[in-house]
């Protein structure tokens, strides 16, 4: 059984009046470092929320620990700043028991992929109705600059003066491997793209994972410069749009094709001869294979050939809906619970005075 976005979103009450960005700003002073990429993401989210038109008392932001996880304090919705790595599990209990809520998780690369890796993958496989915003700055910020599970190999930090020894996760690849039904990537500084990705994520029934590349100007400044600098970005960024040929570079001179030998994807210079072979992006493909292959085009060191946009968006049963359905059918089959009958059970005896 699948369901449409509208059928799930319709469970969340609508706002009575028109909302503006201001409605979503809390009275708390924002305390990120000046210049942090988190400001841009906060502004984009606050700016996007009115578009959803949901009653803001029915919106909840849940976070873990880390710089990004301060996010809920700045949203004038319900919110919980929880403990390190556990936000997906807390949000799962909330979403599964309250289908009238729009539940968002804000997390970082350390929070989601290191200490909380287990909860993230299980939330994705269950397809709980959560929107997970993973701010990836490829560094530990709040603990002052240790390497993270997305840092490039050989990263020199306070805890790795001779370079880090472990290969990084690619969060998009990881999510696809964890049976995610919606996976996207965007960049903090591209508000338009970020907003469009949020729009699609909000519309998705089930767990949506949005990786947001976010600059930490204190401990990992410029980590995504290659994707932001207009000149370099042409080569580095592959913008994915459903139904469009996957082309990038100056004037779309490069494209992605499937290698007929291996089935893997390759990057080619587009020519009139091969133009018809350029892959058309299908975010709704039943199989995650191509989305995974796209995610592997990125060079983990240089970030060259980084696909951004919605890599995968497919419909499959939503955990909270299935849970609610089981409760309904239990009542259909057995009637509403009769406590006296339950307590009495089958074999009883009576003692008279």
Partner 1 sequence: MTSQVSSPVEQTDDPEKRADDAQKARSRPDGETVVGGQLPPGEGGEKEVRRLDRVIIRFAGDSGDGMQLTGDRFTSETASFGNDLSTLPNFPAEIRAPAGTLPGVSSFQLHFADHDILTPGDAPNVLVAMNPAALKANIGDVPRGGEVIVNTDEFAKRAMAKVGYETSPLEDGSLDGYQVHPVPLTTLTIEALKEFGLSRKEAERSKNMFALGLLSWMYHRPTEGTESFLRSKFAKKPQIAEANIAAFRAGWNFGETTEDFAVSYEVAPAGSAFPTGTYRNISGNLALSYGLITASRQADLPLFLGSYPITPASDILHELSKHKNFGVRTFQAEDEIAGIGAALGAAFGGSLAVTTTSGPGVALKSETIGLAVSLELPLLIVDIQRGGPSTGLPTKTEQADLLQAMYGRNGEAPVPVVAPRTPADCFDAALEAARIALAYRTPVFLLSDGYLANGSEPWRIPDLDELPDLRVQFATAPNHTTEDGAEVFWPYKRDPKTLARPWAVPGTPGLEHRIGGIEKQDGTGNISYDPANHDFMVRTRQAKVDGVEVPDLAVDDPDGAQTLVLGWGSTYGPITAAVRRLRKEGLPIAQAHLRHVNPFPRNLGEVLGRYRKVVVPEMNLGQLATLIRARYLVDAHSYNQVNGMPFKAEQLASALKEAIND
Cβ closest to partner 1, residue 260 vs residue 353: 353
Q: How far is the CB of 323 from partner 1 (least distance, A)?
A: 6
Closer to partner 1 by Cβ: residue 58 or 313: 58
What end-to-end distance do the CA atoms of the chain give, in Å? 57
**Cβ at position 66, least distance to partner 1 in Å:** 13
CA dihedral angle for residue 116, residue 119, residue 121, residue 127, rounded to 10 degrees: -140
Report how far residue 167's alpha carbon sits from residue 164's, in angstroms, rounded to the nearest whole number: 8
Select 1 or 340, whichever has its Cβ closest to partner 1: 340
Angle value at C-alpha 267, between 264 and 268, nearest 5 degrees? 125
**Residue number, 218 or 323, with CB nearest to partner 1:** 323
- Measured from the CB of residue 71, what is the shortest distance to partner 1 in angstroms? 10
Task: Give the three-class secondary structure for 147.
Answer: coil
DSSP letter for each residue of 295-309: HTTS-TTT-TTEEEE
Task: Indicate the residue among 96 and 134 with the shorter CB distance to partner 1.
Answer: 96
| Nearest-approach distance from CB 18 to partner 1, in angstroms | 16
Rounded CA-CA distance 237/245 in Å is: 14
Taking Cα atoms as reference points, which of 273, 294, 274 lies closest to residue 283?
294
How far from chain centre, in Å, is Cα 160?
A: 29
Task: Tell me the closest approach of the beta carbon of residue 29 to partner 1, in angstroms.
Answer: 10
Half-sphere exposure of 192 (CA within 13 A, CB side): 1
In angstroms, give the least distance from the CB of 14 to partner 1: 12
Interface positions with partner 1 (CB under 8 A): 13, 26, 28, 55-60, 62, 65, 72-73, 75-83, 86, 88-98, 100-101, 118-119, 122, 323, 326-327, 330-331, 333-337, 339-340, 342-345, 347-353
Q: Which is nearer to partner 1, 92 or 298 (CB)?
A: 92
């Amino acid at each position: 059984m699948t369901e449409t976005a509208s059928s799930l979103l319709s469970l969340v009450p609508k706002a009575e009046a028109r909302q503006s960005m201001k409605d979503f700003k809390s009275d708390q002073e924002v305390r990120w470092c000046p210049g942090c990429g988190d400001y841009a993401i906060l502004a984009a989210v606050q700016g996007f929320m009115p578009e959803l038109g949901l009653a803001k008392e029915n919106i909840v932001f849940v976070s873990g620990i880390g710089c990004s996880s301060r996010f809920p304090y700045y949203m004038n919705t319900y919110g919980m700043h929880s403990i390190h790595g556990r936000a997906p599990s807390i949000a799962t209990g909330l979403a599964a028991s309250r289908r009238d809520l729009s539940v968002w998780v804000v997390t970082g690369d350390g929070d989601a992929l290191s200490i909380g890796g287990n909860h993230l993958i299980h939330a994705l496989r269950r397809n709980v109705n959560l929107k997970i915003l993973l701010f990836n700055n490829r560094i530990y910020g709040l603990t002052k600059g240790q390497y993270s599970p997305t840092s490039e190999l050989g990263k020199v930090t306070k805890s790795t003066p001779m370079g880090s020894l472990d290969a990084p996760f690619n969060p998009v690849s990881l999510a696809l491997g964890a049976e995610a039904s919606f996976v996207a990537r965007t960049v903090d500084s591209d508000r338009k793209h970020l907003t469009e990705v949020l729009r699609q994520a909000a519309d998705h029934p089930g767990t949506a994972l949005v990786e947001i590349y976010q600059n930490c100007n204190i401990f990992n400044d410029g980590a995504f410069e290659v994707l932001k600098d207009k000149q370099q970005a042409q080569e580095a960024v592959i913008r994915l749009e459903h139904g469009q040929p996957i082309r990038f570079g100056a004037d779309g001179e490069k494209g992605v094709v499937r290698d007929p030998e291996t089935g893997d994807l390759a990057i080619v210079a587009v020519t009139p001869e091969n133009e018809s072979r350029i892959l058309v992006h299908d975010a709704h493909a039943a199989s995650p294979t191509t989305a995974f292959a796209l995610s592997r085009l990125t060079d983990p060191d240089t970030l060259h050939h980084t696909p951004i946009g919605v890599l995968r968006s497919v419909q499959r049963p939503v955990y909270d809906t299935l849970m609610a359905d089981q409760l309904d059918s239990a009542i259909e089959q057995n009637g509403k619970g009769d406590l006296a009958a339950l307590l009495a059970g089958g074999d009883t005896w009576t003692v008279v005075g």
